[in-house]
Amino acid sequence: MSEPTTSDLVDVQIDGVWHQFPKGTRIIEACRQVGVEVPHYCYHPKLSSPGNCRMCLVQMGTPPRTAPGAEPTAPDETGHLPISWSPRPIIACANTVSPNLGIRTKGDLVDDCRKGVLEFLLANHPLDCPICDKAGECGLQEYSMEHGVGQSTFRERKVKKPKNVDVGPRIRLDDERCIMCSRCIRFVDEIVDDPVLGFTDRGSYTTLMVYPGRELANNYSLNTVDICPVGALTSNDFRFQMRVWFMRETKTIDTNCATGCNITVYARENKIYRVMPRRNNEVNSDWMPDSHRLSFHWIDGEDRLSDPMLKAEGGFRTANWIEVIKAAAKRLSGLSGDQIAIVASARMTNEELYVVSKLAKQLGSELLATVPRQGEPDGYLISADRNPNTNGARLILGEKAVSGGLDRVKSAIQQGQIKALLVFQEDLIADTGLDGVSLKKLDFLLVAHSCANETTAIADIAVPAACWAEVSGTMINGTGRLQRLNKALEGPGQTLPVWEIARDLLRALGSDDNCQSVTEIFRHLADDVAEFKGVAWGQIGDQGMPLIETGEIIPLLERERERKAAGIIVG
Amino acid sequence: MSKIVQRPKLKWSERLYLPAIFGGMKVTLRHFFAILTRKKKVTMQYPEEKWDAHLPNHYRGAPTLVMDEHGRERCVACQLCEFICPPRAITIHPEEIASDEKWAKVEKRPKTFEIDMARCIYCGLCQEVCPEQAIFLRKDYVVVGHSREEMVHDKKRLYELGQTMDGLVHKWNELK
């Protein structure tokens, strides 16, 4: 889009101060841009604006019309015409700015409107905030505190509606709490093309329903819970698990596919309770798939490795890191480079991959591989590549490691050329078709993984590695965007991130490499790998930055851009 | 501003101190014989006798959970007391009430509710913050245990101590 020229800008007065906005800007967005919040329920920048909640009413004024034959009013010394205020309020969400427009978001008229709207919304709303999952982040609670009357004049019986309705496999609906903003209806219709929700009945009896015989079951259904301004739609997974005010928020990214949806992790006392999408208009808009959102439960599972394990008589014994690293270095030091292979994971961060690549250099090993994961793209946000950092692995380990690397490692193992294999964050038996028999041919197998699995069971040394929620670092998504992960949890027991494990091995093998933090590794990485040249950690930010061109597109974003260009949504 | 106090000039009898000592002795002995002859009683035979009858209504003893007059547990596990508790003595794990149970309408109740009495400082903020009038500081002040675990009151013990409280706001009626 080209920069707006001066003639595309219009003068608008907001709460007594003149500003300039491009033509076509919604009044609510104009106010937001200058730091004036207009309360709203039905408006959402990524959805169409039906203007049905009436919460965003503001007072509007235009220049007085000149009577026929009269002299037009002259502009004042600032070049603005006087404003004659309309006695009738307008909605800020669906109206756009016009030249010399005046907007008042405060004052008696606006205050009365807000009080009235809130009183009507609360007339039938149950007072079950103590059990409602939305309490603490509820739009109705917040605006009632800010703009409400505090007391109800409603003396009649409240309208009874269905509660605890099972509308889909992951969602529960409470119709009494619904304030009929229709965000969920518009979301399933406009974004995920699964229009199963709608209103029935009229007036006070308007009820949100799922189409008879259908379910709200699409893979994006939980986004309706996020955009619901009240507790009408709640997630079965999160229902009654934790009150929102207890949880600590960490901004990070999803690692279930190459899209790398931006997310916020909500955790309390080292346990994740929910994951929510975070706005990034270049990656995931405001949404994320349910399958990715709910895939965090294994993190506090029973099968997490918590201590380094050494093979001993009839099984394993737990050991400490010093012992294990010494033992591994001893087993590796006698071997030449072509007897050692390394399988890393494209689920690891760039920093982890970089230290592993250094380890490969130190060992003189040329056989490096990652495990590819391909699936069907869903045409919305899920990419065909189910590894989150294939692009990072390609840049840091080299193209050879990513394409065909695994086949070369496999055949070298089967031919018996390989004596030692180091595996980072991959379960070879479950995910690559390598069987235990050929892996047992190896003299030495070291596996660093977050969970105990079939591969760790036959390893000589199995060590606990931190998972995506327990590390900070960077990844490059399918479209070539460099994005940051932030550590939300501490790993169980003696767990260490892969970069620390690889660094300790490096040092035990005689290297003087002594990186102490991911930011330090990133600095070395930026010096070393051409594509990262000149990029500083602090530059990446919460929204990431484009790093390379891959030509891949995210279908949902393409459709969003079309709708934005057509003026249907704000974007 | 300082004030100068003149030291009183004592007579020679006063400087001996003996009259004052005997005066004090007289008071002590009077009480001694009154108690000895059971004319006066100052010792409370705790724990056989207790102070309970003298406790004022606003006395803050052990926090407890109470039922309403229909036998419903008033607590809905909103966890506000857990949030406000200054020494973090309260731990709650909520659960959903099954749809075939009598109070399914309430939807939520505590699965476990624990107050660590070794941590509790009897401040009463839990009672003050409770939106359901479910937690009250009762008059129990004898909280003992042989181990730290015994000092943790679980849900069963909290209801034992709290029992039923009538005449409170009834929030979960049919009209709500």
Say if residue B69 is in the same domain as residue B111. Answer: yes
Q: How much helix, strand and coil, in percent to the nearest 5, is found in chain A?
A: 30, 20, 50
| Cβ-defined contact of A240 to B78 (cutoff 8 Å) | no
**pLDDT band for position A6 (cuts 50, 70, 90):** low
Tell me what percent of the residues of chain B surpass a pLDDT of 90.
68
Measure in Å the smallest separation between the Cα of A220 and chain B Cα atoms: 25
Mean pLDDT of the region A220-246: 96
Amino acid at residue number A328: A
Is residue B66 domain-resident? yes
Say if residue B64 is in the same domain as residue B131. Answer: yes
Question: Any idea what the Cα angle at residue A218 is, between residues A212 and A224, rounded to 5°?
Answer: 90
Q: From CA A415, how far away is CA B4, in angstroms rounded? A: 107
Say if residue B33 is in the same domain as residue B59. Answer: no
Which tokens sit at B173?
Answer: 């009626």
Say if residue B30 is in the same domain as residue B90. Answer: no
Measure in Å the smallest separation between the Cα of A174 and chain B Cα atoms: 11
Count of domains for chain B: 2
Contacting residues of B for A122, CB less than 8 Å apart: none
- Chain A residues 152-171 with a CB less than 8 Å from chain B: 157-158, 163-164
> pLDDT at residue A233 above 50?
yes
Strand partners, A447: A423, A462
Three-state DSSP string of A182-231: CHHHHHHHHCCCCCCEEEECCHHHCEEEECCCCCCCCCCCCHHHHHCCCC
Q: Dump the DSSP string for A254-272.
A: --SSTT--EEEEEEETTEE
pLDDT of residue A201: 93
| B78 at A interface, C-beta within 8 A | yes
Is residue B2 domain-resident? no
Q: Is A57 helix (H, G, I), strand (E, B) or coil?
A: strand
CATH at residue B124:
3.30.70.3270
pLDDT of residue A5: 55
Measure in Å the smallest separation between the Cα of B61 and chain A Cα atoms: 25
Strand partners, A449: A464
**Gyration radius from chain B CA atoms:** 27
Q: From CA A447, how far away is CA A21, in angstroms rounded? A: 58
pLDDT of residue A1: 43
Residue of A nearest to B79 (CA): A243
| Cβ-defined contact of A157 to B175 (cutoff 8 Å) | yes
Strand partners, B93: B112
Strands A9-14 and A101-104: parallel
What's the mean per-residue pLDDT of chain B?
91
Say if residue B79 is in the same domain as residue B165. Answer: yes
**pLDDT band for position A155 (cuts 50, 70, 90):** confident
Say if residue B143 is in the same domain as residue B164. Answer: yes
pLDDT of residue A134: 96
Contacting residues of A for B132, CB less than 8 Å apart: 130
Q: From CA B75, how far away is CA A485, in angstroms rounded? A: 39
pLDDT tens by residue, A405-423: 999 999 999 899 999 999 9
Contacting residues of A for B80, CB less than 8 Å apart: 130
| A248 at B interface, C-beta within 8 A | no
| A200 at B interface, C-beta within 8 A | no
In a 10 Å sphere around its CB, with 0-12 CB exposed, 13-18 middle and 19+ buried, how is residue A511 labelled?
Answer: middle
| Cβ-defined contact of B108 to A135 (cutoff 8 Å) | no
- Chain A residues 5-44 with a CB less than 8 Å from chain B: none
**pLDDT band for position B77 (cuts 50, 70, 90):** very high
| B135 at A interface, C-beta within 8 A | no
Q: From CA A61, how far away is CA A234, in angstroms rounded? A: 41
Q: From CA A266, how far away is CA A248, in angstroms rounded? A: 5
> pLDDT at residue B13 above 90?
no
Q: From CA A477, how far away is CA A467, in angstroms rounded? A: 18
Q: Is B79 helix (H, G, I), strand (E, B) or coil?
A: coil
- Chain B residues 50-69 with a CB less than 8 Å from chain A: none
| Cβ-defined contact of A158 to B94 (cutoff 8 Å) | no
pLDDT tens by residue, A422-467: 999 999 999 998 888 888 889 999 999 999 999 999 999 999 999 9
Mutation site for B-interface testing, chosen from A122, A127, A128 by largest number of B Cβ within 10 Å: A128
Strand partners, B136: B64
**How many C-beta atoms lie closer than 10 Å to residue B101's C-beta?**
10
What's the mean per-residue pLDDT of chain A?
94
Contacting residues of B for A126, CB less than 8 Å apart: 176
Tokens 């039905």 sit on residue: A42
Q: Counting one residue from A and one from B, how many pairs have CB atoms under 8 Å apart?
A: 41
Is residue B108 domain-resident? yes
Say if residue B26 is in the same domain as residue B100. Answer: no
pLDDT of residue A127: 85
Contact A13, A103 (CB under 8 A): yes
User: Phi and psi dihedrals of B73, rounded to 5?
Assistant: -70, 130
pLDDT tens by residue, A255-291: 999 999 999 999 999 999 999 999 999 999 999 999 9
Is residue B1 domain-resident? no
CA-nearest of A223, A173, A172, A166 to A199 is A173
CA-nearest of B90, B89, B93 to B108 is B93
| B101 at A interface, C-beta within 8 A | no
Which tokens sit at B148?
Answer: 């730290």
Structural domain boundaries enclosing B16? 11-43
- Find all residues with CB under 8 Å of A10, minimum gap 6, and list them: A20, A21, A22, A23, A97, A98, A99, A100, A101
pLDDT tens by residue, A58-82: 999 999 888 888 888 888 888 889 8
Contact A114, A39 (CB under 8 A): yes
Contacting residues of A for B77, CB less than 8 Å apart: 131, 240
pLDDT tens by residue, A528-558: 999 999 999 999 999 999 999 999 999 999 9
CA-nearest of A442, A446, A422 to A357 is A422
**pLDDT band for position B175 (cuts 50, 70, 90):** low
H or E element: which one contains A424? strand A420-424
Measure in Å the smallest separation between the Cα of B3 and chain A Cα atoms: 57
Which candidate from B96, B104, B132 shows the least CB-CB separation from A240? Answer: B96
Q: What are the distances in angstroms from CA A39 to CA A93, A132, A185, A232, A336?
A: 10, 22, 20, 19, 68
Q: From CA A86, how far away is CA A109, in angstroms rounded? A: 10
Contacting residues of A for B95, CB less than 8 Å apart: 240
**pLDDT band for position B57 (cuts 50, 70, 90):** confident
Mean pLDDT of the region A198-210: 94
Is residue B49 domain-resident? no
Mutation site for B-interface testing, chosen from A240, A247, A273 by largest number of B Cβ within 10 Å: A240
Is residue B17 domain-resident? yes
Say if residue B129 is in the same domain as residue B153. Answer: yes
CA-nearest of A183, A179, A168 to A216 is A168
Say if residue B22 is in the same domain as residue B61. Answer: no
Mean pLDDT of the region A12-41: 96
Higher-pLDDT residue of A355, A439: A355
pLDDT of residue A194: 96
Q: Is A458 helix (H, G, I), strand (E, B) or coil?
A: coil
Say if residue B63 is in the same domain as residue B37. Answer: no
Say if residue B92 is in the same domain as residue B162. Answer: yes
| A243 at B interface, C-beta within 8 A | yes
Say if residue B33 is in the same domain as residue B67. Answer: no
| A135 at B interface, C-beta within 8 A | yes
- Find all residues with CB under 8 Å of A343, minimum gap 6, and list them: A369, A370, A371, A406, A409, A421, A422, A423, A424, A426, A428
Measure in Å the smallest separation between the Cα of B94 and chain A Cα atoms: 6
Mutation site for B-interface testing, chosen from A242, A243, A247 by largest number of B Cβ within 10 Å: A243
Strands A444-449 and A461-464: parallel
- Chain A residues 179-198 with a CB less than 8 Å from chain B: none
Measure in Å the smallest separation between the Cα of A246 and chain B Cα atoms: 8
Q: What are the distances in angstroms from CA A292 to CA A247, A288, A289, A449, A496?
A: 20, 7, 6, 20, 24
Is residue B90 domain-resident? yes
| Cβ-defined contact of B78 to A131 (cutoff 8 Å) | yes
Residue of A nearest to B81 (CA): A130
Is residue B161 domain-resident? yes
Q: From CA A445, how far away is CA A420, in angstroms rounded? A: 6
Measure in Å the smallest separation between the Cα of A368 and chain B Cα atoms: 47
pLDDT of residue A75: 85
Residue of A nearest to B98 (CA): A164
